Structure 1
Amino acid sequence: MSHNVGDELPAFVIESVSPDAMKKWAVFLADPNPIHLDVEVVKAKGLGDKVINQGPANVAYMMNMLMAAFPGCRIETMDSRFLDNVYGGDKVVASGKITAIEDNKISCEFTLDVDGRGTVNAGTATVII
Structure 2
Amino acid sequence: MSYAVGQELPAFIIESVSAEAMKKWAVFLRDPNPIHLDVEVVKAKGLGSRVINQGPANVAYVMNMLLAAFPGGRIEAMESKFVDNVYAGDQLQAGGIVTGVADGRVNCDVWLRADGQRLVISGTAAILTQLVL
- TM-score when normalising by structure 1: 0.98
Quick one: distance in 1 between partners of 2:90 and 2:47?
Answer: 15
2:31: which partner in 1? 31
Quick one: distance in 1 between partners of 2:51 and 2:117?
Answer: 16
Q: Which letter does structure 1 place at the counterpart of 2:51?
A: V
Quick one: distance in 2 between partners of 1:63 and 1:21?
Answer: 18
2:74: which partner in 1? 74
Quick one: distance in 1 between partners of 2:25 and 2:73?
Answer: 25
Q: CA deviation at 1:72?
A: 1.3
Q: CA deviation at 1:117?
A: 4.7
Unaligned runs of 5+ in 1: none
Quick one: distance in 1 between partners of 2:72 and 2:116?
Answer: 33
1:100: which partner in 2? 100
Q: C-alpha deviations, 1:7-62, integer Å up to 9, x for none?
A: 00000000100000000000000001000000011001110000000000000000
Q: Which letter does structure 2 place at the counterpart of 1:118?
A: R
Quick one: distance in 1 between partners of 2:122 and 2:90?
Answer: 17
Equivalence map 1:7-46=2 (5 Å): 7-46=7-46
Quick one: distance in 1 between partners of 2:60 and 2:124?
Answer: 14
User: Which 4+ runs in 1 deviate beyond 6 A?
Assistant: none
Q: CA deviation at 1:103?
A: 1.5
Higher strand content, 1 or 2: 1
Give the fraction of aligned pairs with identical amino acids, expressed as a percent: 66
2:112: which partner in 1? 112
Question: Could you say what the CA RMSD is over the residues aligned between the two structures, in angstroms?
Answer: 0.8
Unaligned runs of 5+ in 2: none
Quick one: distance in 2 between partners of 1:77 and 1:2?
Answer: 20
Quick one: distance in 1 between partners of 2:13 and 2:117?
Answer: 15
- TM-score when normalising by structure 2: 0.95
1:89: which partner in 2? 89
Local SS of the residue matching 1:47? coil
